[in-house]
Amino acid sequence: MRSASIVKHFWWLIPFVIFDVWFFPRFWQQPEPEIISPEQVRPPIQQPPRYAFPTDQKGLLDPPSDSVFMPTAADNVESALFGSARTRQYQFGLAPAFHEGIDIAPLQRDRRGNAMDKIYAAADGLVAYINRIAGNSSYGRYVVIEHTDPAGPLYTLYAHMDASAPGLKAGDQVTMGQTIGRMGHTSTLDIPKARSHLHFEVGLMLNRRFGQWYKAKKLKPYHNVYHGWNMLGLDPLDLFRNRNAEGQFELLKYTRSQTPAFELIVQAPRFPDYFEIYPALWEGPRPGDGLMRLVFTESGLILSGRPKSESDIDPGTARAAAQNVSAAALGRNGKRLIIQRNGQWQLGSKGTELLEILFY
């Protein structure tokens, strides 16, 4: 009787309760990632696409200057380039830090100092991912485009956007030079307006199961496989320097031309998905004992893999053993995938994490 009395007197609240139940879960719920499935079969191709610069800045291959590249607050133009070009404060002190892409400075600003430069697709491809939430990543608002190559997919990433192009969505086919967004300074890193730029990356996918690994670690926010940790980077300027006369970049030709920084002999619990995505980078049969040799650049790009040979070092009970380390190719070693302890090269924490993702 009491319940009936309450309903009788407060019947006018019922529509508001129904609205709240419907509205608030949708209001607070994060939007689903705009993403295409990396397992989706793409049609095979014979020729790689042509590549062009991702903004109207045409001086990317000229000697570096701060009119072309946006340096960090330290105002060292090298800090805008790919590689171990930065220094960062860690718990153990100052040390080289790795920059995964290039930072392209704006050519145009409005009267309020906002960058006005358009961002273009560097090549024909498929929009693989769009993050529209500025506070969800150190990349801020960013777009990932997948480009087909006979050796496997190549990905370009466009970060710190003020906004992506209206109507652009995951799954869209784009053409080289098509506008995909506008330059900005969005990020969780509090990039000031004066340092607005396009952070541009080029990479290979490490593992299509990365999203499962990431969720198993209970990490947030979630960007599925299009997270920076799952992209093995190469120097974007290398991509532009290594184009042929038609403007094409051949991934396999490039990987075979690179000087390795180090090799790892690894106890592999499973055959890596990486070599399912890029089968041309694997040499020989699959190892019966799980021991394989992996060849890396300083950035962690895996140039090739093959079964362990008799001449390779034996890792024993260790997860991996380093061999054939090139100090020149390793450079300042800002990635610290391998580190020196007591004069011996061994796997660092970042290298351990990379292998964990690789073999997940």
Range of the domain at 309: 258-358
Question: Could you tell me if 232 and 287 lie in one domain?
Answer: no
pLDDT mean across residues, the chain: 91
- Looking at the fold, whether 270 and 336 belong to one and the same domain comes out as yes
Identify whether residues 214 and 267 lie together within a single domain: no
CB–CB of 43/173 below 8 Å?
A: no
- Give the tens place of pLDDT for each residue, 313-328: 999 999 999 999 999 9
Between 91 and 256, name the one with better pLDDT.
256
Mean pLDDT of 87-110: 92
Tokens of 307: 């079964």
Whether residue 88 has pLDDT greater than 50: yes
Residue 28 has pLDDT above 90, yes or no: no
Answer whether residue 178 is part of any domain.
Answer: yes
The reply to whether 172 falls in a domain is: yes
Amino acid at 118: K
* Residue whose C-alpha is closest to residue 224's, from 238, 209, 246, 240: 209
pLDDT in tens, 234-284: 999 999 999 999 999 999 999 999 999 999 999 999 999 999 999 999 999
More confident residue, 35 or 60: 60
Given 241, 272, 297, which residue is the final one in a domain? 241
Q: Is the model's pLDDT at 37 over the cut of 90?
A: no
Q: Considering only CA atoms, which of 204, 190, 232, 221 is closest in space to residue 147?
A: 204
Q: 43: which DSSP letter? A: P
CA distances from 243 to 11, 83, 100, 130, 240 (A): 71, 20, 20, 27, 6
Q: How confident is the model at residue 14, as a pLDDT?
A: 56
Q: How confident is the model at residue 91 (pLDDT cuts 50, 70, 90)?
A: confident
Question: Does residue 6 form part of some domain?
Answer: no
Do the domain assignments include residue 236?
yes
Phi/psi at 323 (nearest 5 deg)? -150, 160
- Give buried/exposed letters for 215-226 (b at 16+ CB in 10 A, else e): eeeeeeeebbbb
pTM of the complete model: 0.89
| pLDDT tier for residue 36 given thresholds of 50, 70 and 90 | confident
Distance from chain centroid for Cα 98: 13
Alpha helix stretches (DSSP H) within 217-337? 236-241, 251-257, 274-277, 327-330
> Per-residue pLDDT tens for 66-78?
999 999 988 999 9
Pairwise CA distance, residues 35 & 146, whole Å:
11
How is 116-153 classified by DSSP, letter by letter? --EEE-SSSEEEEEEE--GGG-TT-EEEEEEE--TTS-
Structure letter (DSSP) for residue 261: S
Asked if residue 115 and residue 83 are part of one domain, the reply reads yes
Domain presence at residue 165: yes
Which residue in this structure is represented by tokens 């000087």?
259
11: its two tokens: 């019947």
Do 139 and 203 lie in a common domain? yes
Q: Are residues 72 and 155 in the same domain?
A: yes
CA distance 213 to 227: 12
Q: What are phi and psi of 268, to 5 degrees?
A: -95, 120
Domain annotation covers residue 15: no
State pLDDT tens for residues 99-157.
999 999 999 999 999 999 999 999 999 999 999 999 999 999 999 999 999 999 999 99
- 272/256 Cα distance (integer angstroms): 20
Cβ neighbours, 10 Å, residue 74 = 10
User: Within a domain: residue 246?
Assistant: no
Mean pLDDT of the region 195-211? 98
Q: How confident is the model at residue 46 (pLDDT cuts 50, 70, 90)?
A: confident
> pLDDT confidence of 33, banded at 50, 70, 90?
low
**176 in a structural domain:** yes
Give residue 13's pLDDT. 56
| CATH (domain of 119) | 2.70.70.10
Instruction: Calculate what percentage of the chain has a pLDDT beyond 70.
Output: 89
Q: What's the domain count of the chain?
A: 2
Residue 171, by phi and psi: left (phi above 0), alpha (psi -120 to 50) or beta?
Answer: left
Residue 218: predicted pLDDT: 95
Interatomic CA distance for residues 61 and 110, integer angstroms: 26
With a cut of 80, say whether residue 336 has pLDDT above it: yes
Residues 269 and 236 both lie in one domain: no
